[in-house]
Structure 1
């Protein structure tokens, strides 16, 4: 039995689909089972509730052979350590209590870099990983920025012809599609011939700059789109406007600053950590349909 947390999130949904395709028994922890597709809901065991809740994870992890752990950011938390580390302690305790032998977690690139300790969400994600490494065999999916974050900019693309970010327009960075993270996670959950702790970087197939991304979007959508560099501090104000606490908003700016300072650039791309979905393919298969839906 493999337990999947956050199964209605993009990555979690991808993990569930791949595990079911492989014929694996799956148990999911979900706040609202109605958010599961009917095809999934009929094929999984459901534990209703939050995986931040000790009673919920205690029930969910009983008899588990492996756990997929994805801790979404809680914008209302006072700070990132509360959002990721403190919220994960019930899961760590349940893994310990039930002797779950393997856990695969969603985390970030940056371990060992000079800026990892001041990187907001990334710093907390790495500390969350450290909790699990003390109690079980653990693989940390070390991710760069998600291609899927571009979906948040659909209104800016259609209204102003702009995508934005804190990097210089020509600064190339790794990008990964969330569906490829799901594939990497499912592979580790299905083939558990590993032990101890290690990071599993998931880097996408190429590094792209903001200008590169804008050019691809322009070509795929058939409308002019340009990249605009913004100050990292402006991300803090944006997060506050979305209802984030001051601590969580500050953490977003800290993460952006750390990425500017090279947080995501410490791992070389290899055949083992390069994933297949290019940004162009993602734009054709994900962004363009979402833009078409927003237009209608």
Structure 2
């Protein structure tokens, strides 16, 4: 039995679907019953639990041989760091009670960095807490999701300018489609446990892209020229707070400061392996465009 916490998300659904296609039993764990239908349709058992309710989460995990967990960033929360820490502790407590043999945690590029680099630092805290579990652990560190560009696609369509917090806009960085990340996770769960514990795996797409590459892909999809333009750092706070809480904004400002140093938010040297998804950037962006 495989239990997938956060199965209604893009990554969790992709993992669940791959495991079901392999003929394996999957328990999909989610907070919102309204999102259960697609998972039920592929034959998943459904369990409802909240990350901040360790007892309920432990009951939903009970009996599973392997569990996949993900830490959702509460981007509108007044205290994003506090809520993430609460979720980390809830997950760890539940896993400690349920005692599965294997735990695969979706982590983040940069989780190895000791200094504060915003969002990846929360995943360092996540990994450190999970290291205390008596289970075989896989830390699947994900590059930035290609689908994240969907938030600024409406601006690019309206203005022919793609705002980018990656600066310079020709700097290439690792990125991956969420569906590919789920497939890589499923592949790891289907393999026998390694002697290495924790096992660290980095996941990114078939090649690295720049903001200019994103603009070029959108130009091709839209049939007109879109140019990438770096958002001045003085405008970051205002730009982020249009959609995010101030505390989540601070996490992202620190993240992009680290990104723009170049090479910091990357694979941990001489640690683990790198697995590559097959989805090209243009194919990940295509479904994000409005119908024409």
**Normalized against structure 1, the TM-score is what?**
0.88
Unaligned residue ranges in structure 2 (runs of 5+): none
Q: Which residue matches 1:277? A: 279
The 5-angstrom pairing of residues 192-271 of structure 1 reads 192-195=192-195, 196-232=197-233, 234-244=235-245, 246-261=246-261, 262-266=263-267
Question: How many correspondences in the alignment?
Answer: 287
Distance 2:26 2:131 in 1: 23
Residue 240 of structure 1 and its aligned partner are, at CA, apart by 2.4
Residue 122 of structure 1, CA deviation: 0.6
Contact 2:200 2:273 in 1 (8 A): no
Tell me the distance in 1 between the aligned counterparts of 2:175 and 2:78: 29
Which secondary structure does the structure 2 equivalent of 1:207 belong to? coil
8 Å Cα contact 2:20/2:42 also seen in 1: no
| Deviation at residue 209 of structure 1 after TM alignment | 1.4
Corresponding residue for residue 142 of structure 1: 141
Report how far residue 248 of structure 1 moved: 1.8
In 2, are the aligned partners of 1:12 and 1:182 still within 8 Å (CA)?
yes
Task: State the alpha-carbon separation in 1 of the partners of residues 265 and 181 from structure 2.
Answer: 16
Show structure 1 runs of 5+ residues with no match: none
Moved over 6 A (4+): none
Other-structure match for 1:164? 163
Task: Provide the C-alpha distance between the structure 1 equivalents of 2:278 and 2:42, rounded to a whole number of angstroms.
Answer: 30
The residue aligned with 1:64 is: 64
- 2:168 is paired with a residue whose SS is coil
Tell me if structure 1 keeps the 8 A contact 2:28–2:39.
no
Which residue is equivalent to 1:21? 21
Structure number having the greater helix percentage: 1
Matched residues in 1 for 2:39 and 2:247: separation? 39
RMSD of equivalent CA atoms:
2.3
Paired residue secondary structure (1:281): helix
Alignment match of 1:122 (pick from 111, 120, 123): 120
Contact 2:110 2:265 in 1 (8 A): yes
Per-residue CA deviations over 1:163-215 (Å, capped at 9, x if unaligned) read 22222121111111111100111111222322511221012111211112211
Q: Check 1:290–1:75 CA distance in 2 against 1; reply closer, same or farther (3 A cut).
A: closer
Once residues 96 and 39 of structure 1 are traced to their aligned partners in structure 2, the CA distance between those partners, rounded to angstroms, is: 26
Query: Using the alignment, how far apart are the partners of 2:68 and 2:206 within structure 1?
Result: 24
* Structure 1 segment 168-183 matched on structure 2, within 5 A: 168-183=168-183
Q: How does 1:71-86 map to 2 (within 5 A)?
A: 71-86=71-86
Asked if the contact 1:234/1:253 (under 8 Å) is kept, the reply is no
1:48 CA drift (Å):
1.6
Partner of 1:10: 10
Question: d(CA) in 1 for partners of 2:212 and 2:71?
Answer: 31
SS at match of 1:118: coil
- Cα pair 2:204 2:274 within 8 Å, conserved: no
Matched, 1:34 2:34: yes
